[in-house]
Amino acid sequence: MISNKMVGFVNNNSAIRAMFEEGKRLAKIHGAENVYDFSLGNPNVAAPMKLDAAIKEILDTEETTFVHGYMSNAGYEDVREAIANSLNKRFDTNFGVNNIIMTVGAAGGLNVILKTLLNPGDEVLAFAPYFVEYRAYVGNYDGILIEVAPDTTTFQPNLVEFEKKITAKTKAVIINNPNNPTGVVYSEETIKKLATILEEKAKEFGTEIYLISDEPYRELAYDGVEVPYLTKYYKNTIVGYSFSKSLSLPGERIGYLVIPNEVDDYSQVFAAASIANRILGFVNAPSLMQRAVAKVLDEKTDVEYYNRNRELLYNSLASYGFECIKPQGAFYLFVKSPTADEKIFLEKAKEFNILMVPGSSFACPGYVRLAYCVAYETIERALPAFEKLAIELGLKK
Amino acid sequence: MISNKMVGFVNNNSAIRAMFEEGKRLAKIHGAENVYDFSLGNPNVAAPMKLDAAIKEILDTEETTFVHGYMSNAGYEDVREAIANSLNKRFDTNFGVNNIIMTVGAAGGLNVILKTLLNPGDEVLAFAPYFVEYRAYVGNYDGILIEVAPDTTTFQPNLVEFEKKITAKTKAVIINNPNNPTGVVYSEETIKKLATILEEKAKEFGTEIYLISDEPYRELAYDGVEVPYLTKYYKNTIVGYSFSKSLSLPGERIGYLVIPNEVDDYSQVFAAASIANRILGFVNAPSLMQRAVAKVLDEKTDVEYYNRNRELLYNSLASYGFECIKPQGAFYLFVKSPTADEKIFLEKAKEFNILMVPGSSFACPGYVRLAYCVAYETIERALPAFEKLAIELGLKK
């Protein structure tokens, strides 16, 4: 018999993952080219050529017991130093080797920092819509995820409700910028207001409130939009990063945490996070991949590729009558469901072999998410299906 | 402020990891060749040449978005099938793709299965001496690790005490065979008795008791000793495996769980474990390394290398008057401390630049563990230091 906690998860498994499996099933029946799978954030852009070259170079030139062996739980020191230097150069920060912990992707990093910080009953705030796994991560440590309702006109954080929901039990806030699933980028103005609220509330309650910034989409911003680096706006900021999207390595599970010196109880937090990395069973981030990413920190993914997809998909869907905010970052479109219950919309779409995931998976029912990190041709082929769907739903005559 | 649980870990960090860090510090002062670091199970045998070749072949021939991309949370199906087939061939089992979940090493796998099974307050039995992290892993899910006292004459499991400690709250038993830290291999006879006790007690209490077999050292057995494959002896067995030691890949974090069809509530357990893999933040085992190990399943590490080390170190220490059981597996020597408090022995050894870890880290004070997965020359160079240590402690005249 499985644990009570897991029974709920099994009965109510990730809709995203379920759609991914459904997509594989449909592809077998109809052929992959006839299934329009917008369910998963699995980048279609290839990893930089230099990444594979870096892996080979490491295998050819570094000692194998070192490359595949244990290192400090926080990661190889030279790798952490290279990442600190790269961040300092890009964001005018002042990090060193002891501000970086290499992690098993951003999901690993978030779990590590939540394990580090949370006592049972501690509250963690998140702005809807948010990546649904946050609720599971917080629950892993018996924390309570407190939702801030979405502002569905702008999808910027609802700071009025946010301020009201901070209590003496608030231990952390998770933000995701650029945002999954909306593609919205939180502006510098928003971040400054958010920081001020946090400072005032921490003072009012005599508490420490950590801002956890989940940033796998940092490198994916369009139209020249700037994504503020949060450690510069609020001292108790911890950044979780992943190379999943920026280098197209989601399966490799490689990322890092940034824990600045300025964070309250820095030494304890850093030491505890290193240990949490070990005892949660990660032990350390994958060794070869640590060394490989350190060699390609200046590489960039093909943002223009995603931008073309964004323009085509957004403009086409809008012309068919779908309602959607034009995203400025990440590779998602968050579309208002033409039916009140978006599950009906999703089922209808599936009849046209279009796979998307429900907004209720992001605590924002009435919407659906499309991941446009697919081939441009997939979008082109999907458009007639979307158009028929729009006609069938009465959006288009 | 960090969580209460983590305060304890920070104040009482892993002695193994602390020694590893101490070894790096001493190496900087005295030179690496003058520090005899027996602290960490970090294999000195290189990974098989074919492993690096397999990685390069994959990079050259498989599509990069596939190789570095997301797959099902349980792992690539072809990889899981290759592993199932390999096990079936070697152990005459009958596993298929849906009995294997790829994990972030054995530590990841153990966390996944404990998350899957444990409710708060559930008891998990372990035979001392045991890998100290088990206590942390069980505690991650608010389970309670119940220790079975060691039989220090044979270091086989103490089955008399084991039987008495099984209660209605016992959800699982973890065994580690070959054993870290003793190097003892639990015999088939022992396993059969253990299985009978579990069956009887599960019947008596009307419960399910899962046997979790932690097997990173399966491939390291000497003197022709057989390591029984536990799923054949007890139906509720779940195997946690790692390629860390068998292919010298500890830093890569690659292993798997075996969940046989015969396990009670198999479908629930398999589904929950796949989800636990995701929500704990592993998401999936590192993708490239999954594909690489599947290509070298028939490769073997150089057991004879460790055997030479075992013979030299065991025979020499015995001749100096140290007391120790000759290990039949793994790459550890578990030596009786000549001082009642082994910490004194460890401090004295450190004066001779010998680093070992305390038995109290394995719930077995009065002993120390030496990891002999080091260069043969390191042992040769260390022997005079051990001899002086023996003389100073009055073991040798």
Q: Where are the alpha helices (DSSP H) in B176-223?
A: 188-205
User: How do residues B266-320 score in pLDDT, each as one tens digit?
Assistant: 999 999 999 999 999 999 999 999 999 999 999 999 999 999 999 999 999 999 9
Task: Please tell me the predicted confidence (pLDDT) of residue A397.
Answer: 82
Give the residue-averaged pLDDT of A179-206. Answer: 97
Task: Please tell me the predicted confidence (pLDDT) of residue A169.
Answer: 98
A321 inside 8 A of chain B by CB: no
Provide the mean pLDDT of chain A. 95
A311 inside 8 A of chain B by CB: no
User: How do residues A160-176 score in pLDDT, each as one tens digit?
Assistant: 999 999 999 999 999 99
Q: Considering CB atoms only, which of B110, B208, B279 is closest to A1?
A: B208
A21-27 — which CB contacts under 8 Å span 24+ positions?
A: A21/B72, A22/A350, A22/A355, A23/A355, A26/A353, A26/A355
User: How do residues B219-258 score in pLDDT, each as one tens digit?
Assistant: 999 999 999 999 999 999 999 999 999 999 999 999 999 9
Contact A281 B282 (CB under 8 A): yes
Looking at the predicted structure, is the pLDDT value of residue A20 above 90? Answer: no
A11 inside 8 A of chain B by CB: no
Looking at the predicted structure, is the pLDDT value of residue B17 above 80? Answer: no
- Specify burial of residue B21 (Cβ count, 10 A radius: 0-12, 13-18, 19+): middle
Q: Considering CB atoms only, which of A51, A136, A268 is closest to B2?
A: A268
Looking at the predicted structure, is the pLDDT value of residue A53 above 90? Answer: yes
Looking at the predicted structure, is the pLDDT value of residue A346 above 80? Answer: yes
Task: Please tell me the predicted confidence (pLDDT) of residue B371.
Answer: 96
Looking at the predicted structure, is the pLDDT value of residue A15 above 80? Answer: no
Contact B275 A73 (CB under 8 A): no
**Mode of pairing for the β-strands spanning A170-176 and A123-127:** parallel
How confident is residue A350, by pLDDT bands cut at 50, 70 and 90?
A: very high
Residues of chain B found within 8 Å of residue A259, distances taken between Cβ atoms: none
B207 to chain A, minimum CA–CA distance in Å? Answer: 9
Task: Please tell me the predicted confidence (pLDDT) of residue A49.
Answer: 93
Structure tokens at A122: 């501690």
How confident is residue A32, by pLDDT bands cut at 50, 70 and 90?
A: confident
- Torsions phi, psi for A173 (to 5 deg): -130, 135
Task: Please tell me the predicted confidence (pLDDT) of residue A22.
Answer: 83
Tell me what percent of the residues of chain B surpass a pLDDT of 90: 91
Looking at the predicted structure, is the pLDDT value of residue A304 above 80? Answer: yes
B290 to chain A, minimum CA–CA distance in Å? Answer: 10
Tell which A residues from 62 to 121 touch B, by Cβ distance under 8 Å: 64-65, 67-73, 104-105, 107-112, 115-119
Task: Please tell me the predicted confidence (pLDDT) of residue B16.
Answer: 75
Looking at the predicted structure, is the pLDDT value of residue B41 above 90? Answer: no
How confident is residue B33, by pLDDT bands cut at 50, 70 and 90?
A: confident
Distance in angstroms (rounded) separating the CA atoms of residues B105 and B389: 37
Task: Please tell me the predicted confidence (pLDDT) of residue A12.
Answer: 79
Q: Considering CB atoms only, which of A55, A108, A119 is closest to B4?
A: A119
Tell which B residues from 120 to 139 touch A, by Cβ distance under 8 Å: 133, 136-137
B131 to chain A, minimum CA–CA distance in Å? Answer: 12
Distance in angstroms (rounded) separating the CA atoms of residues A258 and A84: 9
Task: Please tell me the predicted confidence (pLDDT) of residue A33.
Answer: 87
Task: Please tell me the predicted confidence (pLDDT) of residue A48.
Answer: 94
B168 inside 8 A of chain A by CB: no
Looking at the predicted structure, is the pLDDT value of residue B118 above 80? Answer: yes
B165 close to B146: Cβ distance less than 8 angstroms? yes
A327 close to A223: Cβ distance less than 8 angstroms? no
Give the residue-averaged pLDDT of B206-231. Answer: 96
Residues of chain B found within 8 Å of residue A174, distances taken between Cβ atoms: none
Contact A275 B13 (CB under 8 A): yes
Domains, chain A, in order of start with CATH, read: 4-48+301-392 (3.90.1150.10), 49-295 (3.40.640.10)
Provide the mean pLDDT of chain B. 95
Interface with chain A: mutation pick from B11, B13, B68, highest number of A CBs within 10 Å: B68
Task: Please tell me the predicted confidence (pLDDT) of residue B21.
Answer: 81
Compare all CA atoms of chain A with the CA of B7 and give the residue at the minimum distance.
A272
B61 inside 8 A of chain A by CB: no
Global model pTM greater than 0.90: yes
Task: Please tell me the predicted confidence (pLDDT) of residue A17.
Answer: 75
Task: Please tell me the predicted confidence (pLDDT) of residue B270.
Answer: 97
Looking at the predicted structure, is the pLDDT value of residue A156 above 80? Answer: yes
Q: Considering CB atoms only, which of A3, A140, A287 is closest to B116?
A: A3
Task: Please tell me the predicted confidence (pLDDT) of residue A13.
Answer: 74
User: How do residues A240-255 score in pLDDT, each as one tens digit?
Assistant: 999 999 999 999 999 9
- Torsions phi, psi for A355 (to 5 deg): -110, 125
Structure tokens at A73: 């739980």
